[in-house]
Amino acid sequence: MPKLVFLATDLVLFLLLAGVAFYAWHATRTPTLRQTWRSVLHDATAMSAAVVLTVFLLLAVLDSVHYRPLLAPAEGAAADAAPAYSTKTLSLLDALLSGPRESREKTYSIPLGTHQFSKESMLVDGKSIRDFPRLKFGGAGLQNPQTDWAPDVISRSVTGLLGGALAAAALWWAVALIRAKSLAVPVGNSLRLIWRCQTDVPWRAILLTASVLLLIGGWIAALWPHYHVLGTDQTGNDILFNAIKSIRTAVVIGSFATLATLPFAIGFGLAAGYYKGRVDDVIQYIYTVLSSIPSVLLIAAFVLMIQVFIDKSPNLFETGLERADIRLFLLSGILGITGWAGLARLLRAETLKLTELDYVQAARAFGVSDFGIMRRHILPNVMHVVLIVAVLEFSGLVLYEAVLSYVGVGVDPSTNSFGTMINSARSELSRDPTVWWNLLAAFGFMVTFVLSMQLFASAVREAFDPRARAFRPQRKMPSQSKLAITAREQGR
């Protein structure tokens, strides 16, 4: 039985998931919230983005279940001796991807490469020559790489894509079948409705996105055991593996830092807008000062202090991973503490407006306490602002982490993150020939993630912001939805 390890960030991430689940439950029970979220559910772009985000989130969660494997009992140890655990902490994702994780090369190699990127002196038939050595793992099964490489890659790609296509087809069919059951129409009709976008939830967009992901997944699954799909970095680590591990860091930073801003932003924003006068002045001074200090400077100072603390108290942390994790955790907290000014300013303005509204006046006339008014009458009516800003800020913070790690005040160097990948690309791009795949991988993953988040956020904003709704362009003609109804009725 391995020993489960709960890192600080793991706990908070799971708490956060529980919080999201609770909110979802609450939203389904509240008619107004259900109405609003339904308009997000009916937005094709948002739902495609949600599919991508789900995959990212799933990878992050898999990477957040940590354990230390049980070591075989030492020879000659007593039968009742305490079990010994490895000093290396692994996550479920590490275990699933143990192949790529352990297939470490010596140094750079290009994506799908069979040879190292740089020449080395080798002894061939007793003579010392300088050449590109074969990789230990990448394309190791090939007898003659010059001739066998292309056919092998092509056949494996085709197999992988076929597998992905099959899985996608199965998914389409499963969704059509389930919808057919609930609508009591034949599966064929149900598929046709999905394909013609005549469903409330945009299933075609969802399924197309999922299909693309499955195709990519199938291709990777077929090739990864035999090649380094996105090449290797300076120390020979598989870059695709690094990139997948970086997802968790991005999710953790994005969500914790956003979460950490909320108490400050909500507390200060509401207080400033509600009490006005002196309280407002003080809070405004604080956030004006805060936002005029360069945040990189502030964060660098905080991070260095943390590093000193971690270095001085080695007994607190059992493994290197725990040390790195606490730095990640505190970094998110710092980002939160320094980043609340924007939201607080918005909430202050919104609260100023709300306190003048009649229902707040009515509550005052009823003698409701200040806290009661803020909790019952103001907070629920500014929550849409909080939600919109939180979702938008999430992606901003993911990008900010990359900037901080690039500058060197971000996460621990041993933690995989997009920022550290980009940081190492600094030297890679200045050498000749350039190593481009590391930066490209970080770039591709980060853009996919942040873009999905932004698209989702814009749909959320549109649903929750009543002003955005007024500017909605003309929707599709009503004849289409009528078609859907008639088609459904014909099916019956």
Binding residues for other proteins, rule: CB under 8 A, are 31-32, 276-277, 281, 357-359, 361-369, 372, 376-377, 380-381, 469, 472-475, 478
Distance from C-alpha of 492 to C-alpha of 450, rounded to nearest angstrom: 43
Rank residues 104 and 376 by Cβ distance to other proteins and give the closer one: 376
Rank residues 126 and 367 by Cβ distance to other proteins and give the closer one: 367
Distance from C-alpha of 231 to C-alpha of 241, rounded to nearest angstrom: 10
CA R_g for the chain? 27
* Nearest to 2, CA basis, from 103, 95, 97, 101: 95
Structure tokens given for 239? 């870059």
Shortest approach of other proteins to residue 289 CB, angstroms? Answer: 16
Structure tokens given for 243? 């990139």
* Nearest to 427, CA basis, from 418, 417, 437, 435: 435
Shortest approach of other proteins to residue 365 CB, angstroms? Answer: 5
Burial of 203 (0-12, 13-18, 19+ CB in 10 A): buried
Rank residues 294 and 367 by Cβ distance to other proteins and give the closer one: 367
Distance from C-alpha of 39 to C-alpha of 167, rounded to nearest angstrom: 29
Shortest approach of other proteins to residue 32 CB, angstroms? Answer: 6
Residue 90: phi and psi, rounded to 5, are -115, 160
- C-alpha distances (whole Å) from 368 to each of 280, 355, 361, 372, 470 are 21, 13, 10, 6, 34
Shortest approach of other proteins to residue 467 CB, angstroms? Answer: 14
Structure tokens given for 185? 């129409």
Shortest approach of other proteins to residue 470 CB, angstroms? Answer: 8
Rank residues 81 and 483 by Cβ distance to other proteins and give the closer one: 483
Task: Give the other-Cβ count within 10 Å of 323's Cβ.
Answer: 20
Shortest approach of other proteins to residue 340 CB, angstroms? Answer: 24
Rank residues 120 and 370 by Cβ distance to other proteins and give the closer one: 370
Distance from C-alpha of 191 to C-alpha of 255, rounded to nearest angstrom: 37
Q: Are 262 and 390 in contact (CB under 8 A)?
A: yes
Shortest approach of other proteins to residue 341 CB, angstroms? Answer: 21
Shortest approach of other proteins to residue 373 CB, angstroms? Answer: 10
Rank residues 31 and 314 by Cβ distance to other proteins and give the closer one: 31
* The amino acid at 256: F
Rank residues 314 and 478 by Cβ distance to other proteins and give the closer one: 478
Rank residues 260 and 354 by Cβ distance to other proteins and give the closer one: 354
Shortest approach of other proteins to residue 364 CB, angstroms? Answer: 5
Distance from C-alpha of 443 to C-alpha of 46, rounded to nearest angstrom: 22
Instruction: Check residue 224 and report its DSSP letter.
Output: T
46: part of which helix (H) or strand (E)? helix 44-62
Task: Give the other-Cβ count within 10 Å of 227's Cβ.
Answer: 29
Rank residues 31 and 76 by Cβ distance to other proteins and give the closer one: 31
